[in-house]
Amino acid sequence: MLERTVLIGSTNGLHARPAKLFSQAAAVAGIPVTLTKTGGKTVNAASILGVISLGIGHGDEVTLAADGDAAETILDELAGLLLIDHDA
């Protein structure tokens, strides 16, 4: 299982629009990916409702996890999406 820990870059956190972009990218990844807010629960990263339910704000630390042949590349791409300020 590979993991990436990142800080959320969007000024307003993972609200509807950035959560949608992130969960859609996770859904097409081809492998199961999980998202965990530090100190919180773990959800399926492809579930927009799961992602929004974590209440992730700007600067919060989250961990992505996946397993499989392409996991490293997929986690890098998804981590990049979380680092971008989609509210700028």
Task: Provide the CATH number for the domain around residue 42.
Answer: 3.30.1340.10
What's the CA gap between 76 and 80, in Å, rounded? 6
Does any domain span residue 64? yes
Does any domain span residue 15? yes
How wide is the angle at C-alpha 31 spanned by C-alphas 29 and 32, nearest 5°? 110
What's the CA gap between 68 and 9, in Å, rounded? 27
Q: Once rounded to an integer, what is the mean pLDDT over residues 48-61? A: 97
What's the CA gap between 39 and 81, in Å, rounded? 21
User: pLDDT of 9-31, one tens digit each?
Assistant: 999 999 999 999 999 999 999 99
Which range of residues forms the domain containing residue 64? Answer: 2-83
Q: Which amino acid is at 79?
A: A
Six-digit token string for 1 = 């299982």
Does any domain span residue 48? yes
Q: Which of 6, 11, 12, 15 does the annotation list as catalytic? A: 15
- Give the predicted TM-score (pTM) of the model: 0.95
| Domain total of the chain | 1
Does any domain span residue 67? yes
Tokens 């081809």 locate to 30
Is 15 part of the annotated catalytic residue set? yes
The mean pLDDT of the chain is 96
Does any domain span residue 88? no
The Cβ of residue 70 has, within 10 Å, a number of other Cβ atoms equal to 12
